[in-house]
Amino acid sequence: MANKVVVIGGVAAGASAAARLRRLDEKAEIILFEKGEYISFANCGLPYYVGGVIPQRNNLLILSPQTMQERFDIEVRIWSEVTRILPQQKLVEVHHLLSGKKYQESYDYLILTPGSIPVAPPLEGLDKTNVFTVRNIPDSDIIREYVQENQPSRAVVVGGGFIGLEMADMLNYLGIDVTILEASAQVMPPLDPEMASFMHRYIRNIGINLLLNRRAVRLEGEEHVQQVVLDDNSTIETDLVILGVGVKPETSLAREAGLAIGSTGGILVNECLQTSDPYIYAGGDAIQIKDFQTGHEMLLPLAGPANRQGWIIANNICGRKTSYNGAQGTAIVKFGQMTAAVTGLNEKRLQALGLPYLAIHTNPNSHAAYYPRAMPMAIKLLFTPREGKLLGAQIVGYEGVDKRIDVIATALRAGMTVFDLQELELAYAPPFSSAKDPVNMTGYAAANLVNGDVEVIHWPEVPARVAKGAFLLDVRTPKEVARGKVPESYHIPLDEMRLRRDEIPADKEILIYCHSGLRSYIAARILKQLDYRVLNISGGYNLWEAQQPE
């Protein structure tokens, strides 16, 4: 007898599960309930639709209800909100929002993919007409219409995470004067602070007002917000407020049905994505998953993992046992011309877990320097001290960031080491890369640490070492030094170092930097073999400069 499968919620996990079910079982009865109008749309593209980069809303629609019906023989019921799950009877209660009709529908298996809901900060004035969130196509329609009709000149974006950054980018693209208000010390939380500093510098350089460690406490105005009051009683005049402060799992149906909820607040599922009821599966933003590397519980509202979860759920319902092994949090964001990407564990997380690690920073070009328009990127790699096993990576740059983070994400998933990064044979031609790709180069730099060929120190540790008598050595060229230098540093160009070795004190610890770390590594190797106590400063002047207050 064919199974009857009810899916609650479309978009990534739900629509993926329904389509996969049909590909595996032509006889199954599949009903998909969606309380809105759209069952499968590119929600990651919503900010770009608001900004007009994606001109037509239809470009965001992946599958319409009609196409889902015709292509997959899946019964799609839009404007149909499932208000209650009755697990004992294997029933769901449904409210058709347009007609008001209420009824029950039976199921053999239920797939629960209700997604997430925006986290609203505790602010007075959230009900005003020019305050918006961005979660679905109707949200983006409303914002786009408001911008076109009212021509706002100023906007405040509350929150510097992915959605906040993308919305700020698009509003700036439209010529609106934008302020990003972030309560923590940095934007894009998955980045470590020094990597986020590259983003901070760029955001400010393109004319966006970035306020860190500042909170909104009140939105003032009559019907519309006219000013945002901050925690220091200062105000920002605005015509538009976007809330981009994150999301939380939508678990109301699951809780009422008595399904187990995990420690993170997401629906608890096993490796097959079954809930505590074996006939109910769940996926997407609403579930608690495991970190692929540590096994710790986590929430990860990303489209890629959600799509795979839907695919896995369908496999398991159809008897093809498939496990979901967790996620590593690979993500990327574009802001203006800059791109930031992450995969795996960051340094903040490693410190919180008490796990041993080493970190290295490199600053390679996107392709061969002699080919026009080579652009710099900053790479941070985290790895275990003994084996050099990859733990995580972060990249901030302008071109080629996506390619390199994907290579490292794949290597991390495969359990590779920094030595494996050296061996990767990656495509090379001058317009695309260098003979040693940035991934290879970062692997070589990391392997030098594991092998003991060089020791590194990071900029936050440098002032205390210098205060205790360490000698801070700058090995850049005179032209580079003329543009700026680290206070208290002594300048000897690398190519003059052997001739001027008597200027370097043999009884002191030597801390060396260049622009990016390569020349200082060469200097460190020279001095180490001459019995100096020497440390290479990771990331060089480029990283130091990015972290300086403006």
- Catalytically active residues, by annotation: 44
Q: Which H or E run contains 442? A: helix 438-451
Rounded-to-integer distance, Cα 436 and Cα 204, Å = 33
Residue 172 token pair: 């700036």
The CA–CA distances, whole Å, from 399 to 244, 366, 374 equal: 26, 6, 8
**Mapped to the 3 state alphabet, what secondary structure does 35-83 carry?**
CCCCCEECHHHHHHHHCCCCCCHHHHEEECHHHHHHHHCCEEEECEEEE
Closest alpha carbon to 524 in 545, 510, 503: 510
Q: What is the dihedral of CA 68, 72, 73, 79, to 10 degrees?
A: -20
* Residue labelled with tokens 């470009």: 59
8 A C-beta contact, residue 155 and residue 242: yes
Alpha helices in 152-302 (DSSP H): 162-173, 193-205, 252-256
Please state, in angstroms and as integers, the Cα–Cα distance from residue 242 to each residue in 112, 118, 119, 160, following that order: 29, 12, 12, 11
Residue type, 159: G
Q: How many CA atoms lie within 13 A of 324 on its CB side?
A: 31
Which structure tokens are listed for 55?
A: 């001109």
Q: Which residues pair with 499 in a beta bridge?
A: none
- Which value, to the nearest 10 degrees, does the dihedral of the CA atoms of residues 23, 29, 31, 32 take? -20
The whole-angstrom separation of Cα 204 and Cα 210 is 6
Structure tokens given for 485? 């230098």
Whole-angstrom Cα distance, residue 75 to residue 84?
A: 20
Spatial contact of 157 and 131, defined as CB atoms under 8 Å apart: no
**Would strands 287-290 and 297-298 be described as parallel, antiparallel, or unpaired?**
antiparallel
Greatest Cα pair distance, the chain, in angstroms, is 89
